[in-house]
Structure 1
Amino acid sequence: MFGVVASGKLVNTNVQEAGVNEYFLTLEDALSVNHIVVFLTGQIPFSEGFGGSIYLGWPAEGGGMSWQLLGFISNSKPSAIFKITKVKPSETVTPFGQEMMATVGHHSTAMVGLRVEPLDQLAQETPASGTQPSSLSNMSEFSQKMLENLFNFASSYAVDPTRSALTPGETYIPAAALRQWYSNFQRRLSLNPNFWKTL
């Protein structure tokens, strides 16, 4: 039904059934993995109105697995990228049946679990913080905030030459030039969020 691509590793579709509507696969050497992509293979779609919540599980002290919700996939959203570098749950959560509670062999081995649930229930679940990788919209938002900050900072030093003495030897930039640069940068960013890579 689903598979996982971990950064720097081969595709993993070795899915095992853990219980009714519960599946998992093992993620070896997970401590070296920054991101995973969970995807539907296309062979078995979800039933109408259902999707799959995605969990990451680590061996817990004293046995069992400690799970953290990453997000979900569905027929209309058949893949998702998750950042897992900061996902190290401290308390044991058991969204899966007892079949998945056995401790895996090594502390760097993790498990990726999929639990089939109704879509309206999936929409109400809250993934662990920091699991979503930076997106293009976040980069655009950062660039926008940076531009506004630069403009506001530089504008705070604006002086009226008719009302104050200019410091000799100091170079002054007209506020209009800064405003024009700001407008041009904004326009180029809206047309192509990656244009700055060619600067």
Structure 2
Amino acid sequence: MFGCLVAGRLVQAAPQQVAEDKFVFDLPDYENINHVVVFMLGTIPFPEGMGGSVYFCYPDQSGMAVWQLLGFVTNEKPSAIFKISGLKSGKGSQHPFGAMNLPQTPTVAQIGISVELLENLAQQTPVASAAVSSVDSFTEFFLCGSGLALQHVPFFYSAC
């Protein structure tokens, strides 16, 4: 149903299902990740009136899980790019993964997707610094992350 992509890594298309309506992707070596793409595979749509809240979880210095709301995906908006590089030292927020004992290791973060009513998604406030990147930012992310020389692409301005 969902996929997760980090630049320079293989696509993850098989999340761990931790509850009927909750899915988790592991992100090893998360300290070196700046952006993550979460998307629907197109094989199974959300039921009518449902969507998915996307959360980022990382272990704090004491090893406790810190969850932060990134945004959401829906049938009408089946993919999103999130900047997570500035979140690794922020405070957590309310999340639907609280009662679950998901294993945490010091170098592995997680992306969690919680299937929820669309009306509930509209009331949630994502972490501001995780704002969904625009196409221009994605292009910059791709060019910067791939090492392509920007002088060969004159119509782009970037601060790589």
- Using the size of structure 1 for normalisation, the TM-score is 0.63
Q: Residues 28 and 19 from structure 1, CA distance in 2 versus in 1: closer, same or farther, beyond 3 angstroms? A: same
Q: Does structure 1 residue 90 correspond to structure 2 residue 95?
A: no
Distance 1:60 1:92 in 2: 13
CA separation of 1:75 and 1:91: change in aligned 2, threshold 3 A: closer
Write the deviation string for residues 152-186 of structure 1: whole angstroms up to 9, x where unpaired: xxxxxxxxxxxxxxxxxxxxxxxxxxxxxxxxxxx
Give the conservation status (yes or no) of the 8 Å contact 2:82–2:133.
Answer: no
RCO (CA 8 Å, sep 6+): is it higher in 1 or 2? 2
Aligned to 1:29: 29
Asked if the contact 2:3–2:38 (Cα under 8 Å) also holds between the matched residues in 1, the reply is yes
Amino acid at match of 1:110: A
Query: Could you list the per-position Cα deviations for residues 98-157 of structure 1 after superposition, in whole angstroms to 9, with x for gaps in the alignment?
Result: 33x33422x22100000011111111211101112553689xxxxxxxxxxxxxxxxxxx
Amino acid at match of 2:46: F
Q: Tell me if the contact between 2:69 and 2:93 (Cα under 8 Å) persists in the aligned partners.
A: no
1:63–1:132 CA distance, 2 compared to 1 (3 A): same
Structure 1 stretches of 5 or more lacking a match? 139-193
Instruction: State the number of aligned residues.
Output: 141
Q: Is the 8 A contact 1:52 1:72 kept in 2?
A: yes
Runs of 4+ in 1 over 6 A off after TM superposition: none
Provide the TM-score with structure 2 as the length reference. Answer: 0.77
Greater Cα radius of gyration, structure 1 or 2: 1
User: Percent of pairs identical after alignment?
Assistant: 40
Distance 2:22 2:128 in 1: 23
Query: Equivalents in 1 of 2:93, 2:134: separation in Å?
Result: 30
Q: Distance in 1 between matches of 2:102 and 2:136?
A: 40
Matched ranges for 1:1-199 at <5 A = 1-88=1-88, 89-91=90-92, 93-99=94-100, 101-105=101-105, 107-132=106-131, 134-135=133-134, 196-197=155-156
8 Å Cα contact 1:66-1:93 kept in structure 2: no
> If each structure's helix is expressed as a fraction of its own residues, which one has the higher value?
1
Contact 2:57 2:109 in 1 (8 A): yes
Check conservation: 2:69, 2:125, Cα contact below 8 A. yes
